[in-house]
Amino acid sequence: MGISSSDKELSTSSIACGGSFKIKLTLTAEPDIVNNPTDIVLILDRSGSMSGSPLANLKNGAKKFIDIIDEATDGYQDGHIGNGSRIGIVSFAETATQDTQLITSVADLKAAVDALSAGGTTNHKDAFEKALQLFDPLSSHAKVMVMFTDGVTTAGGDATPVATQAKAEGVTIYCIGLSGNGGIDEQALNDWASDPDSAYVAITPDDTELENLFEDLAKNISKPGATDIVIQDTVSSCFKITAVSSPTKGVATLLNPTTVEWKIDELGVSSSEGAVLEFDVQHIGPCSGTLEVNESILYQDTEGNSVTFPSPEITVDCGIVVIPEECPTPIDITIGGCEDTVVFDAGALAMQSQGRILQLDVTLKSVCPGKRVALAVIMNEVDASGNEYKRGLKTMTIPAHTAATCQDVEVRCITFVFPEDLDVSAAGSGICGSRSFKARLIAHYIDHDYACCNTGGAVS
C-alpha cells in the first residue's frame, strides 16, 4: 500500500495584510500486506541437532514473526491475522508434518510452534513438498515460504527441484540458516531461495540471533509503507516561514525563508502510522486577495511512492489598494559574448533624470462608498538652514470603491524623482549623501450632493 494519505491544511482561511497562520502537513503509511493479502508458510527444522537452546530460540523467533504479521495486517496484535492474509506451519525432521493449514488464529499458530520437539534426521525435500501443498494454486494471494534449517540434507534426497517448482509457481522463498550445529549447506540455501541471495538468505552461527532474524524477515515480508522519506515544502514569495515545530516523527529543517525540509527514516513499518509537521507562515510583500500558498512541494522515498499534497488557498485582506502609477516598461538589451561595449538607443524618456526615487504610500481614512477622491502631493526639498525648494506636485483621482460601508483606502507607489544636480544638502558626497524632504498632502471628495441656493440643482 505504501502512503495511504497525505494532506496539507491551513489553520485559517483568511488573514489580514502581514498576518500569520499555521500550515499542517500530515502523512500516513501502512504496510503493503494490508491491501495485498499474503499466504505464508513457516517451514521449521526440528531435527535432533536443534535440541536445547536452538529450538527454544527458534520458537521465540517464529512466535515473534507471527505477532508482527498479526499487527501488520490490521494495525493491532489482536490474535487474528487480518485482511485476508494467513500463516501455516510445516515442521520437519526425517519427514515433514503440516502442523497447521493456512489459518488466521495466532493462538493456534503459536500452539503448533510450542508443540515442536527435536529428534531425527533432516529431510528438506519433504518439507518443501508439504509446504507447497498448503497453497491454493487458484488463489490470487501472494505466496511466501520461510525455510529455517540448521543442517545439511540427510534424508529424502535433493530438495532443489521442489524449491525450483515452487518459485516457478510464484512462491517467494526465504532461507534462514543456523550454522553453529555442525554446519549447513550454504550453496543449497542459495539455490532454494529467491534471487538475489543477499536479499533472501540469512545465516547466523548464534541461535540467540534467531529472534532478531525472524523479526526482520517479518517486517520485510509485510513491506513497510515508506522509508527514507524526504519532503521539501516551498511556500510562494508572498509568504515567509517564521518558525518550524518538531514533527511527531522525523526531523524538520528550515532550508531558507520559504522552504522547509522534512525527513522521516520509516513510516508504516508494522502497522498503519501517521506523522504530522506544523510550521508558522507570515504574509509579506504587496500581494493580496485569494492566494495559493504553495510554490512547490516535493516528495520522495525509497519505495518510489507517488504522493500528492493539496494546494490550499488563503485570502489576504490588505483593504482597498490603489496603485495609480505602473512600473516603467522594461527595455530589452542584449550584449553579445564577444562584445566589450554596446551602444543602445533606449528611446525617449520624458520628465525623468538620474537621481533618487522616492515612493510614497498614504492611507485615506474612512472613504465613503461611491465617491471619488482628489489627492494632491506637494514635495519640497529642505537644505541645512531649513529653506524649502520645490521638487514636485502631483494630483490624481482615486476611483470610488463599492464596499458597503466607509473604508480606509491605501494609495501606494506615488513616485517622485530627485535628480542629483538639484541636491541642496551640501553634503558633498554625491549619491551617498543624505537629503531631506517635506511632503504635504491634500485630499477631498470630488463627488458631492451639495448645490448652491441660486443654481437650482446639483452640478454634474
Tens-binned pLDDT, residue by residue, of the chain (460 aa): 578 889 999 999 999 999 999 999 999 988 888 778 999 999 999 999 899 999 999 999 999 999 999 988 888 889 999 989 999 999 999 999 999 999 999 999 999 999 999 999 999 999 999 999 999 989 999 899 999 998 899 999 999 999 999 999 999 999 999 886 667 888 999 999 998 888 889 888 888 888 888 888 888 888 878 999 999 999 999 999 999 999 999 999 999 999 999 999 999 877 778 999 999 999 997 788 999 999 999 999 988 888 989 999 999 998 777 777 677 778 888 877 777 777 778 777 665 446 788 999 999 999 999 999 999 999 999 998 899 999 999 999 999 998 889 999 999 999 999 888 888 887 655 566 788 999 999 999 999 887 777 655 555 5
* Residue 458 within a domain: no
* Residue 339 within a domain: no
Task: Specify the pTM.
Answer: 0.55
Return left, alpha or beta for 50; rule: phi > 0 is left, psi -120 to 50 is alpha, else beta. Answer: alpha
* Residue 89 within a domain: yes
Q: Structurally, how many domains does the chain consist of?
A: 3
Peptide bond into 196 cis (omega under 30): yes
* Residue 142 within a domain: yes
Q: Kindly give, in sequence order, each residue whose CB lies less than 8 Å from that of residue 226, ignoring residues fewer than 6 positions away.
A: 2, 3, 29, 264, 266, 267, 268, 301, 302, 303, 305
Residues 72 and 171 in one domain: yes
Residues 51 and 144 in one domain: yes
Residues 169 and 278 in one domain: no
* Residue 460 within a domain: no
Give the end of a domain, one of 171, 203, 222: 222
Question: Which three-class secondary structure state does DSSP give residue 400?
Answer: coil
Cell numbers describing residue 194: 529467491
Residues 72 and 178 in one domain: yes
CATH number at residue 8: 2.60.40.680
* Residue 253 within a domain: yes
Rounded to 5 degrees, φ, ψ at 190 are -65, -35
Quote the longest CA-to-CA distance of the chain.
Answer: 127
Residues 74 and 25 in one domain: no
Residues 116 and 263 in one domain: no
Residues 284 and 145 in one domain: no
8 Å CB contact between 351 and 419: no
Residues 186 and 129 in one domain: yes
Dist CA 355 CA 430 (whole Å): 10
Residue of 146, 127, 151, 150 lying closest to 201 (CA atoms): 146
Domain that holds residue 83: 33-222
CATH number at residue 415: 2.60.40
Predicted confidence at residue 430, as pLDDT, reads 57
Question: Which three-class secondary structure state does DSSP give residue 142?
Answer: strand
Give the end of a domain, one of 180, 204, 222: 222
Predicted confidence at residue 454, as pLDDT, reads 67
Predicted confidence at residue 271, as pLDDT, reads 73
Residues 24 and 87 in one domain: no
Dist CA 297 CA 43 (whole Å): 46
Residues 64 and 207 in one domain: yes
Ranges assigned E (strand) in 257-387: 259-267, 273-283, 289-292, 294-300, 313-317, 320-322, 355-367, 373-382
Strand partners, 321: 410
Helix residue ranges, H only, 312-358: none
Return left, alpha or beta for 428; rule: phi > 0 is left, psi -120 to 50 is alpha, else beta. Answer: left
* Residue 450 within a domain: no
Predicted confidence at residue 456, as pLDDT, reads 54
Residues 37 and 182 in one domain: yes
User: What is the crossing angle of helices 53-74 and 210-222, to 10°?
Assistant: 20
CATH number at residue 70: 3.40.50.410
Helix residue ranges, H only, 169-248: 186-192, 197-200, 210-222
* Residue 17 within a domain: yes
Cell numbers describing residue 92: 520437519
Residues 158 and 282 in one domain: no
